[in-house]
């Protein structure tokens, strides 16, 4: 058994995960200001004696050698030596990785990509995260490979926070969706999803266009990596039924060869916790 921790902007989720990828115990804490203390509490809450190790998925860039996390967006932590701090506190093997990488690893080991060698995925939320799993292991490059949300789909598109112009996240992140949804009674992408459920024409059009842009991004990734399966998750993937058609037609149009299946996340909101637990293997 392992512990899997998912550090998010609002919540910290900890799960006790067995070898088959079942969550035996799960706890959620508001992240709050004192992230570290909350993290310690969450771990203590689900810990048992039989644990092999602790895996942690966190936003922000990772330094694998140091086991540290760079600046986390929305969280008051910076260059924190997270791995050794947790290791010292609990005396257990500890691994850390980027949260989107953990999402894809979770799907690769226990979810939609189970039994596949190579899995690539995107998480759609406020931002757009990505990950590459090769031979059931996260591909890191030097450290931070898999930042697929920052691949360019429009070379003279608007400037993004990351410094790039027209990257996927500019269009598919919360801001991008809300720009398409201008005029609708919606505060966040899931409101636009709810409107689409009611048959609102503009909302349906938003998701159609969303799928087209997502498909362009996914086609680039499939052309580059030709994985066995491509997994799409994150809370915005709830709108899958409204964007998957235009997404798939774009993927087929832009890939040089028969593309791999592109599927919705199977593990849903537990993917990152399960992936974090799978870091300790």
Point out which residues bind Zn ion (CB under 5 A): 150, 160, 162, 164, 167, 169
Q: From CA 206, how far away is CA 183, in angstroms rounded?
A: 12
Burial class (CB in 10 A: 0-12, 13-18, 19+), 260: buried
> CB of residue 118 vs Zn ion: minimum separation in angstroms?
24
Can you name the residues that pair with 264 across neighbouring β-strands? 232
> CB of residue 67 vs Zn ion: minimum separation in angstroms?
26
Which CB, 91 or 163, lies closer to Zn ion? Answer: 163
Which CB, 171 or 240, lies closer to Zn ion? Answer: 171
> CB of residue 218 vs Zn ion: minimum separation in angstroms?
16
Which CB, 89 or 175, lies closer to Zn ion? Answer: 175
Residue 41 DSSP SS3: helix
201-225 and 240-254 helices cross at what angle (nearest 10)? 40
Which CB, 88 or 179, lies closer to Zn ion? Answer: 179
> CB of residue 18 vs Zn ion: minimum separation in angstroms?
37
- The residues, any chain, with a CB within 8 Å of residue 23's CB and separated by 6 or more, are 15, 16, 17, 270, 273, 274
Closest residue by Cα to residue 122 from 107, 134, 135, 109: 107
> CB of residue 80 vs Zn ion: minimum separation in angstroms?
23
Residue pair 131/105 in contact by the 8 Å Cβ criterion: yes
Which CB, 21 or 173, lies closer to Zn ion? Answer: 173
């Amino acid at each position: 058994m392992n512990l899997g921790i998912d550090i998010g902007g609002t919540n910290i989720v900890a799960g006790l995960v067995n070898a088959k990828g079942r969550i035996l115990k799960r706890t959620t804490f508001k992240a709050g200001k004192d992230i570290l203390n909350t993290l310690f509490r969450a771990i203590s809450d689900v810990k048992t004696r039989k644990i092999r190790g602790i895996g942690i998925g966190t936003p922000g860039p990772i330094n694998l050698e140091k086991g540290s996390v760079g600046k986390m967006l929305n969280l008051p932590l910076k260059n924190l030596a997270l791995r050794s701090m947790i290791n010292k506190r609990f005396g257990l093997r500890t691994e850390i990785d980027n949260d989107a990488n953990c999402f894809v690893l979770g799907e690769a080991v226990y979810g939609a990509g189970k039994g596949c060698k190579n899995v690539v995925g995107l998480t759609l939320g406020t931002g757009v995260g990505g990950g590459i799993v090769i031979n059931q292991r996260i591909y890191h490059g030097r450290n931070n490979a898999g930042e697929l949300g920052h691949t360019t789909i429009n070379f003279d598109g608007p400037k993004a926070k990351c410094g790039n112009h027209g990257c996927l996240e500019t269009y598919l992140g919360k801001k991008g969706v809300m720009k398409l949804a201008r005029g609708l009674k919606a505060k966040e992408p899931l409101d636009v999803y709810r409107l689409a459920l009611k048959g609102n024409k503009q909302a349906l059009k938003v998701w159609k266009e969303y799928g087209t842009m997502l498909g362009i991004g996914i086609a680039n990734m499939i052309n580059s990596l030709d994985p066995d399966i491509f997994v799409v998750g994150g809370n915005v993937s709830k709108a899958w039924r409204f964007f998957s058609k235009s997404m798939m037609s774009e993927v087929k149009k832009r890939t040089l060869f028969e593309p791999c299946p592109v599927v919705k996340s199977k593990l849903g909101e537990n993917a990152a916790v399960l992936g974090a637990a799978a870091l300790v293997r």
